[in-house]
């Protein structure tokens, strides 16, 4: 009689037909097919073969202490699914975590209790209901990790077929990351509210000048020239505002995705300072860069890190002016930030009153509204810096007092060896 044999399988099925059927209702036919292919708990893809004698058992592949699923095609498929998967055993401990779940949870949770692994009360209650009442659940939760993630979770009870080490997959937890969609929706609402408020003044100004030019000033060349100059400034301000809002929108949507490419902060700071030097000279200011020429590497998105330095240096030029050199130097190590490197932009300007410091990174918050608008500021520069640093798992600190200038320090987790290099450079200087 013909039989079924799995490729790379040494154990019975962990994700049974019942579990696959439940998964199909959540993720649709293509995902159900992938789960069906892995329906043998770790488990290879089955194929039809002609009857033949049972082969001698193959030696077991070495596995980690807490690795409950045997190697095989099925396990590989589960690892490559874009959906985060956790298999829980009969004691509610995680017996398998795929790569997508590792990225969402930002840590390895294999062999941990489900409550400690998920750290979301609603999700823990749904898992408990799957054990006690054999109940399937679907819910949206927020996972509090390095960055909050909005996740759609599907919990499905499974038929208890044991794998080779005697453990039985009892509950399947499927996690779908919906952070991008949730943030996009919130940002659309914020954009409409903020943009309408900030664009109202320049639009009203432009409309008034247009009416004047169409009316009694139609044949007045001097008034026409003056009004057109004002309208051009207001239009440029609106363009900067829209550009900053769109930039902030893009950054916030991807804020939970940590960059993975090395960027040399020191080389980038030198490059941005050189590019802004003519603008600084026009304002009577100059940059004094006291960084090494290279060797200060962090994981980052180069264009976004460039925007951080552009915004901070531009602010220093606008508000410190010719009060003294704008220094760019390594920050002293901070006990509260072990393993991090900092770059400080320090000016000798009028400083910032203490009561304003906690609110500097709020959208559209300005210490001096009139001066900010006069200098072309949109009130979004430091908000953009804050969200870029948040995406890079970094931080911004500000130290200032009236008459003592301001020091803005950006902190980043250093790549291996970068913190030691920074300390050596600081000692040498």
Largest separation between any pair of C-alpha atoms in the chain: 103
As a whole number of angstroms, the distance between CA 288 and CA 196 comes to 40
Number of C-beta neighbours around residue 104 at 10 A: 21
Is the domain covering 3-52+62-177 a CATH 3.50.50.60 domain? no
| pLDDT given at position 73 | 82
| pLDDT given at position 235 | 87
Tell me the C-alpha to C-alpha distance, in Å, between residue 67 and each of 95, 156, 167. 7, 21, 11
| pLDDT given at position 147 | 65
In sequence order, the 6+-apart residues with CB closer than 8 A to the CB of 286 are 277, 280, 325, 326
Vertex 173 angle, CA 169 and 174, to 5°: 130
Number of C-beta neighbours around residue 25 at 10 A: 12
Element holding 329 (H helix, E strand): strand 326-330
Do the beta carbons of residue 37 and residue 77 sit within 8 Å?
Answer: yes
CATH no., domain 258-429:
3.30.565.10
153 DSSP 8-state letter: E
| pLDDT given at position 181 | 84
Domain boundary assignment for the chain:
3-52+62-177, 179-256, 258-429
Q: Tell me the two tokens of residue 278.
A: 């003519």
Question: Domain 179-256 falls in which CATH fold?
Answer: Helix Hairpins (1.10.287)
Q: Which of 296, 297, 278 is nearest to 287 (CA)?
A: 278
Q: Tell me the two tokens of residue 149.
A: 């993630």
Instruction: Kindly give the confidence (pLDDT) of every residue in the chain, 429 residues in length, as a single tens digit, with 9 standing for 90 and above.
Output: 434 333 333 333 333 333 444 444 444 444 443 444 344 433 333 333 444 445 444 444 344 444 567 778 888 888 889 899 999 998 999 999 999 999 888 889 999 999 999 888 999 999 999 999 989 999 999 887 656 788 999 999 987 665 555 577 789 999 998 888 887 777 677 767 766 777 777 788 888 888 888 888 788 888 888 888 888 888 888 888 888 888 888 888 888 888 989 999 999 999 999 999 998 888 888 899 999 988 889 999 999 999 999 999 998 988 876 777 899 999 998 888 888 999 999 998 888 888 888 888 888 777 776 666 666 667 888 999 999 999 999 999 999 988 888 999 999 998 865 544 555 555 455
| pLDDT given at position 354 | 87
Q: Which of 363, 339, 352, 337 is nearest to 407 (CA)?
A: 352
| pLDDT given at position 243 | 84
| pLDDT given at position 381 | 87
| pLDDT given at position 44 | 35
| pLDDT given at position 146 | 56
């Amino acid at each position: 009689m013909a039989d079924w044999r799995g490729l790379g399988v040494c154990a019975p099925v962990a994700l049974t037909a019942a579990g696959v059927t439940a998964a199909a209702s959540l993720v649709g036919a293509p995902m159900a097919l992938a789960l069906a292919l892995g329906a043998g708990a770790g488990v290879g893809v089955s194929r039809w073969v002609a009857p033949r004698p049972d082969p001698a058992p193959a030696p077991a592949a070495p596995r980690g202490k807490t690795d409950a699923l045997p190697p095989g095609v099925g396990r590989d498929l589960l690892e490559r699914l874009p959906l985060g998967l956790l298999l829980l055993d009969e004691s509610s401990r995680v017996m398998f975590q795929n790569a997508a779940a590792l990225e969402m949870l930002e840590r390895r949770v294999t062999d941990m209790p489900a409550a400690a692994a998920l750290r979301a009360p609603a999700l823990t209650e749904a898992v408990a209901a799957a054990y006690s009442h054999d109940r399937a659940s679907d819910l949206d939760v927020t996972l509090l990790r390095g960055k909050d993630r909005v996740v759609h979770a599907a919990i499905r009870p499974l038929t208890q077929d044991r794998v080779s080490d005697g453990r039985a997959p009892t509950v399947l937890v499927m996690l779908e990351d919906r952070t991008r969609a949730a943030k996009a929706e919130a940002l659309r609402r914020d954009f409409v509210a903020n943009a309408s408020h900030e664009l109202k003044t320049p639009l009203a100004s432009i409309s008034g000048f247009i009416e004047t030019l169409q009316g009694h000033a139609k044949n007045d060349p001097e008034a026409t020239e003056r009004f057109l100059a004002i309208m051009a400034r207001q239009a440029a301000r609106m363009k900067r505002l829209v550009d900053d809002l769109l930039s902030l929108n893009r950054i916030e949507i991807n804020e939970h995705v940590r960059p993975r490419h090395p960027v040399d902060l020191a080389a980038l700071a030198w490059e941005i300072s050189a590019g802004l030097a003519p603008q600084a000279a026009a304002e009577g200011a100059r940059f004094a860069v006291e960084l090494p020429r290279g060797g200060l590497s962090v994981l980052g998105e180069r264009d976004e890190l460039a925007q951080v330095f552009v915004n901070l240096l531009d602010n220093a030029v606008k508000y410190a002016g010719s009060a003294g050199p704008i220094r760019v130097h390594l920050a002293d190590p901070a006990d509260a930030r072990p393993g991090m490197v900092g770059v400080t932009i320090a000016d000798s300007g009028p400083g910032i009153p203490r009561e304003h410091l906690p609110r500097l990174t709020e959208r559209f918050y300005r210490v001096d509204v009139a001066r900010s608008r006069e200098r072309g500021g949109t009130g979004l520069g430091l908000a953009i810096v804050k969200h870029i640093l948040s995406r890079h798992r970094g931080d911004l600190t500000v130290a200032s007092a009236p008459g003592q200038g301001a020091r803005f320090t950006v902190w980043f987790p250093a790549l291996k060896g970068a913190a030691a290099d920074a300390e050596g450079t600081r000692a040498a200087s």
